[in-house]
Amino acid sequence: MLKSVVVVGGGTSGWMTASYLTAAFGDRIKVTLVESARVGAIGVGEATFSTVRHFFEYLGLEEKDWMPKCNATYKLAIRFENWREEGHHFYHPFERQRVVDGFTLPDWWLRNPSSDRFDRDCFLVGTLCDSLKSPRHLDGTLFEGGLGERSMYRTTLTEQSTQFPYAYHFDATLVANFLRDYAVARGVRHVLDDVVDVALDDRGWISHVVTKEQGDLTGDLFIDCTGFRSLLLGKALEEPFESYQSSLPNDSAVALRVPLDMERKGLRPCTTATAQEAGWIWTIPLFDRIGTGYVYASEYSTPEQAEKRLREFVGPAAEDLEANHIKMRIGRSRRHWVNNCVAIGLSSGFVEPLESTGIFFIQHAIEQLVKHFPDARWDEGLRDSYNSLVNRCMDGVREFLVLHYYAAKRTDNQYWLDTKKRALPDGLAERLERWQTRLPDGESVYPHYHGFEAYSYVCMLLGLGGIELKPSAALGLLDPSSAQHEFKLVAEQASELERTLPTQYEYFAQFH
């Protein structure tokens, strides 16, 4: 069996990896994490998937253990503003579709829309977001009964059969620090030093990394969590990188941390993605501030123009704040596990922050590494299976994000015109043609696990408005009374929740 793992790089990816490995294997594997005091984390990964709760549960942590310490809040959806036209918004919620007589509620809505808000007519979450509500009552009970129960076993992403109604916003630096303390308390060795070299043996495998102050760090398995620099996989092992930029042109970002009186402003329980002239701006509400940033394509905007636009968007609260400019590497490594090195996080690949997939990719990679963990035989089949799963996951997210731009009705400048002309990933054109006459279902979306289900594709197509969708002809022959009853039920349940749930700020204020 392998005896030691060396994680190179800290931040969210490094400490998520170290803490998860020690939670999984205990003291049967020695874990060392080395990070530089001089290299800061990117720190914009503040929004997540709903499935990230399984990561914290796997570590044996409850929300009260970590959320207040990380200024965390709930995220029930992503709110898309101005993607169709100025002044328009819709939600992509963490909420599966209801089904009536074999057809989803969005199918019935498309046949006979009762308003221009499919997200409020077909789902509960849009109402909760508009009214700034918490998904939990003050006593901690979840608004959807039964879903808040913890499993008696630790679970991972791929076996989930329910859609949990929220994810998290959090301060990524505080989460990394929290997980560092968790991991070190459970035996992870923490080395604060600069890695100055990566040494390879005669086979081309990593034998050790050389640090500036403490010499050589040896191990059996090395995990590359060095971010976009990819010091181990990309530089030392020279693994090729496959760019996604032919279809996803956004390659830059500028970010601000904006302190605000969130009690007065209110905590909207969703991430907001506001379309701009050369990309989009994220707004993430934490308990003590907002995180915001402009993701843009350098082909259409300079860093100075992007920063100016972001500051205008934020307003007076942005004055005197330091801006963090980031150059993003969009795409993935050809392989993520080569020899005895596995890349996790930005060193492995990245699409862009839209849909908050950065931390999801980290969690998925860590879970698959544990499921494929090698022994002294270093079975090639394990590496091949791991690489295939991670590649398919990233390629699937790429396709889903391309849909956002291609299907957006907005065409008011060259950037948005060009999003309709870029190369589509293999298979997407055929799927788009099929979706125009039948809304996406489990059989017609990207076929491999990538975190998104058919209802997510439905929400984007209905909300973005750039692709003409035809209602199902069969619904014209069915009695609509049951569907009408369900629409009424959604409205009644939403109204009751709006009346009885506390605001998100009220819920979290009790912990602070």
The closest of 343, 358, 371, 361 to 282, measured between CA atoms, is 358
Number of H helices, E strands in the chain: 16, 23
All residues at 6 or more sequence positions from 259 whose CB lies less than 8 Å from its CB, including other chains: 288, 289, 317
Q: Which of 64, 75, 371, 488 is catalytic?
A: 75
Instruction: Establish whether 371 is a catalytic residue.
Output: no
Question: Please, what is the Cα angle at 331 between 278 and 223, to 5 degrees?
Answer: 130
State whether residue 234 is helix, strand or coil.
helix
Helix (H) / strand (E) element for 257: namely strand 252-259
Where are any strands of DSSP class E within 286-344? Answer: 289-296, 324-327, 331-333, 337-338, 341-343
- What are the tokens at 429? 């054109």
Question: What are the helix (H) ranges across 436-480?
Answer: 454-464
Strand order in the sheet with 331-333: 241-243, 331-333, 349-350
Asked if residue 87 lies in contact with residue 412, where contact means CB atoms within 8 angstroms, the answer is no
CB atoms within 10 A of CB 11: 26
Asked if residue 46 lies in contact with residue 65, where contact means CB atoms within 8 angstroms, the answer is no
Dump the DSSP string for 342-392.
EE-GGGTEE--STTS-HHHHHHHHHHHHHHT---TT--HHHHHHHHHHHHH
* Pairing label, strands 77-81, 271-276: parallel
Catalytic machinery residues: 75
